[in-house]
C-alpha cells in the first residue's frame, strides 16, 4: 500500500486563535491571583523546550513511559489486532514514545493509520514529515487543533475502531473537574469497545517530583518563562522576562505540582494587542500550570465516573508511572 501523509488545520473554531489568546491573557492577568493557561506554553519554541525537558535526568516521566511501552508493546498489540484501527494520539509532540508502538504494530502487520492531533502546527508538520521518512508505508493524517475540536473531528474519521493514546501525563495538566469533563467528551466521541491508553504520573516521593519541575540546568524555568516571550512576540507585550522567576511547588492536598512565574519587582507591563497595562507587585505570582499526580484509586474512580472500564494497568519497574488502558462502555449504566 502506498503511504499518505497530510496535515489538516482546524478551521471550525468560531474564535480565531490570536483573538482567543488575547482574551485568555486579558482575563487571566485581570484575575487575582493572576494566571495564564498552560496551553499557551506550546508555540514552536515552547514545544522545542518541552522536548529538551523530556531528556533531562530529573524529568523521569518520559523515560518511565518509554519503558512501559517497550515492555508491554506485545500486550497492547494483542488488544487492538483484528480489523483496521485509527491510532489517534492527542498531543503527540515528537511521538518519540508512540514510535515504539507504531514500529511494533507495523512489524506485526497490524492494519492501522496514525492520527496525531496537536495544537502546534510546526510540531505536527515536523512529526508527519519525519514519520514519512522513517516509515514510508505508514498512513498519517495529522490535525492541527486543541483537544476539544480534535475530539469533535474524530467523528469525521472513517468509521473504524479507535485506539486513542493520551500519553505523557497530559491528563495531569487538567484540574480534577476539567479532567472529568475532558474524559466524558472523549467517551462521547468514541464508540462501544474503543480503547484509550492514558499516562498517569503516580504520587511518589515529593523530592523526586520537586526536582522534575526544578531541573538544575533551568530548562523548565526557560519553558515557563517562554510564555512571557510569546506574549511579547505575538501580542506586542513588553514583559522584561529577567524581572520574573520560575517557581514550582507540590501541593500535597490537591496532589498537584504547581508552576508559577513570580514578579521580582514592582512593575507595569503593557500589552499592545490587548491595549492595556497590567501592574505587578513585588513577589506577585502568575499561576501557569497544574501537573496533577494520581493515586491508583483516583484512576479507577475517574474511569468509572466517565463511562470507561479499566482493562489493564501497565507500570514501569519503579512504579512511578502507569499507562492505564480503558475500554469504552456505552450500555453499562456507568454514566
Site string for ligand AVI, 204-223 (x = CB under 6 A): ---------x------x---
Q: Cβ 17 to ligand AVI, closest distance in Å?
A: 19
- Tally of CB atoms within 10 A around 216: 9
Q: Cβ 319 to ligand AVI, closest distance in Å?
A: 18
Determine the Cα–Cα distance for residues 248 and 219; give it in Å rounded to an integer.
Answer: 13
**Dihedral angle computed from the Cα positions of residues 64, 66, 72 and 74, in that order, rounded to the nearest 10 degrees:** 180
Does 172 contact ligand AVI by CB under 6 A?
yes
For the chain, where are the alpha helices, taking DSSP H only? 17-30, 44-54, 60-80, 98-107, 121-134, 147-154, 176-189, 206-212, 219-235, 296-305
Site string for ligand AVI, 90-129 (x = CB under 6 A): ----------------------------------------
Distances 301 to 165, 180, 307, 323 between C-alpha atoms, Å: 20, 10, 10, 16
Q: Which is nearer to ligand AVI, 85 or 186 (CB)?
A: 186
Binding residue for ligand AVI, selected from 86, 291, 306, 324, defined by CB under 6 A: 291
Does 226 contact ligand AVI by CB under 6 A?
no
Q: Which is nearer to ligand AVI, 289 or 323 (CB)?
A: 289
The three-state DSSP-derived secondary structure of 68-114 is: HHHHHHHHHHHHHCCCCEEEEEECCCCCCCHHHHHHHHHHCCCCEEE
Q: Cβ 98 to ligand AVI, closest distance in Å?
A: 14
Site string for ligand AVI, 24-63 (x = CB under 6 A): -----------------------------x-------x--
Q: Cβ 223 to ligand AVI, closest distance in Å?
A: 6
Q: Cβ 143 to ligand AVI, closest distance in Å?
A: 19
CA–chain centroid gap for 232, Å, is 24
Summary count for the chain: helices (H), strands (E): 10, 14
Determine the Cα–Cα distance for residues 176 and 180; give it in Å rounded to an integer.
Answer: 6
Does 142 contact ligand AVI by CB under 6 A?
no
**First and final CA of the chain: distance in angstroms?**
41
Of the ranges 16-24, 143-151, 153-161, 163-171, which one interacts with ligand AVI (CB under 6 A)? 163-171
Q: Which residues bind ligand AVI (CB under 6 A)?
A: 53, 61, 168-170, 172-173, 213, 220, 289, 291
Amino acid at each position: 500500500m502506498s503511504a499518505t501523509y497530510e496535515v489538516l488545520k482546524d478551521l471550525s473554531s468560531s474564535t480565531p486563535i490570536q483573538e482567543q489568546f488575547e482574551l485568555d491573557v486579558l482575563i487571566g492577568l485581570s484575575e487575582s491571583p493572576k494566571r495564564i493557561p498552560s496551553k499557551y506554553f506550546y508555540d514552536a519554541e515552547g514545544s522545542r523546550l518541552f522536548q529538551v525537558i523530556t531528556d533531562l535526568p530529573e524529568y523521569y516521566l518520559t523515560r518511565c513511559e518509554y519503558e512501559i511501552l517497550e515492555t508491554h508493546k506485545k500486550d497492547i498489540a494483542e488488544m487492538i489486532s483484528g480489523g483496521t484501527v485509527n491510532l489517534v494520539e492527542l498531543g503527540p509532540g515528537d511521538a518519540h514514545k508512540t514510535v515504539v508502538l507504531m514500529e511494533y504494530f507495523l512489524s506485526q502487520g497490524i492494519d492501522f493509520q496514525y492520527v496525531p492531533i496537536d495544537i502546534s502546527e510546526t510540531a505536527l508538520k515536523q512529526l508527519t514529515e519525519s514519520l514519512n521518512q522513517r516509515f514510508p508505508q505508514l498512513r498519517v493524517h495529522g490535525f492541527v487543533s486543541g483537544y476539544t475540536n480534535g475530539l469533535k473531528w474524530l467523528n469525521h474519521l472513517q468509521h473504524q475502531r479507535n485506539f486513542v493514546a493520551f500519553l505523557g501525563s497530559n491528563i495531569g495538566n487538567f484540574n480534577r473537574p476539567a479532567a472529568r469533563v475532558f474524559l466524558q467528551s472523549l467517551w462521547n466521541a468514541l464508540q462501544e469497545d474503543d480503547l484509550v491508553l492514558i499516562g498517569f504520573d503516580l504520587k511518589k516521593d515529593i523530592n523526586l517530583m520537586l526536582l522534575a519541575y526544578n531541573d538544575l540546568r533551568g530548562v523548565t524555568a526557560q519553558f515557563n518563562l517562554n510564555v512571557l516571550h510569546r506574549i511579547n512576540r505575538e501580542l506586542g507585550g513588553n514583559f522584561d522576562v529577567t524581572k520574573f522567576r520560575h517557581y514550582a511547588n507540590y501541593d500535597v492536598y490537591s496532589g498537584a505540582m504547581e508552576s508559577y512565574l513570580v514578579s521580582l519587582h514592582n512593575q507595569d507591563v503593557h500589552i499592545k494587542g490587548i491595549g492595556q497595562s497590567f501592574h505587578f507587585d513585588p513577589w506577585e505570582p502568575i499561576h501557569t500550570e497544574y501537573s496533577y499526580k494520581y493515586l491508583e484509586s483516583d484512576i479507577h474512580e475517574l474511569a468509572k465516573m466517565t463511562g470507561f472500564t479499566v482493562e489493564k494497568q501497565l507500570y514501569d519497574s519503579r512504579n512511578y508511572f502507569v499507562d492505564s488502558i480503558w475500554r469504552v462502555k456505552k450500555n453499562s449504566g456507568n454514566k
